[in-house]
Amino acid sequence: DATSKAEISTQENPGILTQHGDAQIQSPHKTGDVTLRLDDARIARGLLTADRPWESRLRPGSLLWDRRLKRYRLWYEGCVTKAAGGCESKGAALLYAESDDGLAWRKPDLVRTTWPPGGRDRRNNVVSLGARGVRVFQDGNPSEPASRRYKAL
């Protein structure tokens, strides 16, 4: 069952390491004294939480590693309205977070967009309001200036 524990070693069986139900874990060659331990599943907290007023619901986005900055960069979607129609209408926003290790995330103030809309405060991680289903990618073209390194579709 899914909660059982299994421990195996390549010295005992260098081909198929283990078969547990329908799952097989294989090694193409003997790699030495390697141990694989499967342990009980546990529920972990989310790595990114909706902790800002403009984040009533989060949706996955684009996660990229920036070699120059040596950090993970995440563009994700947040629901910025609780009005009728919610995010399905114009209530979605493209948000930004970054991390050095992929576990602890910062949401820097981008000073791009006012919150609430029409207000004066630009201290937020909102990239763009009204952005639904946007994905960000890194353009590897060396002729592009640094200001155009990231693009969105």
pLDDT of residue 106: 95
**pLDDT: which is higher, 34 or 92:** 92
pLDDT-derived band at 85, boundaries 50, 70, 90: low
Query: Among positive and negative, which fits the CA dihedral 66, 71, 75, 80?
Result: negative
pLDDT-derived band at 48, boundaries 50, 70, 90: confident
The pTM assigned to this predicted structure is 0.66
Give the neighbor-by-neighbor strand order of the sheet with 58-66.
58-66, 71-79, 92-99, 126-129
